[in-house]
Amino acid sequence: MTQQGAVLQGYNNELVKCIEDLCMQKEELNKQIQQAEEEKNKLQHEIQVLSEQLDCVCENLAQKVASRNELDKILAETEAAYMKILDSSRTLLNVLKKEVGSLKHSSDLKTN
């Protein structure tokens, strides 16, 4: 019976050691889980911050594109109006040259 008690005690010791090892593995796994959860929370916060920054950049970009489009429209209208002014100036200059030519022609006729 003593021999069986010693065998049983040996099994018990091994069982206790296995249980202690499992408890240590569980503690280590709990630490890893906690670190992973902290990393996950940190990354989620960074994603939220970056998402807010992206929203601001997109809004700012949209405003700048709208402003550029408005400037393009104003430039096109201004250039078209300027071309009309140039055309009118050329027409006026041609009319003026004809008038001056006519005046010179009539003065030349009068002096002859």
φ and ψ at residue 16, rounded to 5 degrees: -60, -40
- Please report how many Cα atoms fall inside a 13 Å half-sphere around the Cα of residue 6, on the Cβ side: 3
Task: Between 31 and 3, name the one with better pLDDT.
Answer: 31
Q: Helix, strand or coil for residue 112?
A: coil
Q: Where are the alpha helices (DSSP H) in the chain?
A: 2-111
- Write out pLDDT tens, residues 61-98: 999 999 999 999 999 999 999 999 999 999 999 999 99
pLDDT at 108: 67
Distances from the Cα of 31 to the Cαs of 55, 64, 101, 107, in angstroms? 36, 49, 102, 111
Q: What is the pLDDT of residues 33-49, one digit of tens each?
A: 999 999 999 999 999 99
pTM for the model: 0.60
Amino acid at 42: K
Phi/psi for 41 (5° steps) reads -65, -40
